[in-house]
Amino acid sequence: NNRIGYVYRAFNLNDSPTRVLIQMFLFIFIVPIIIMFILWNIFRLRRSIHVKIKNERDESELTVDG
């Protein structure tokens, strides 16, 4: 009962609309951005490790001279 009341109080627009708006903004915008940033960093790290494992000829082709 206390948990249900706490969740209801946390998302109660009549009690504190600013806190509910901040929470909804956090859940809708900031959390997915953080998740995508972490996934993109993992993918980038895996790609850089894969490039380092390959031989130096392919790595020299990636760098553009001039």
Secondary structure, 3-state, 23-36:
HHHHHHHHHHHHHH
Buried b (16+ CB within 10 A) or exposed e, 45-57: eeeeeeeeeeeee
Task: Determine the Cα–Cα distance for residues 41 and 39; give it in Å rounded to an integer.
Answer: 5
Per-residue tens of pLDDT for the chain, all 66 residues: 566 666 667 666 676 778 778 888 888 888 889 999 999 998 888 877 766 666 555 555 555 555
User: Is this structure's pTM higher than 0.85?
Assistant: no
- 16 CA to centre of own chain: 27
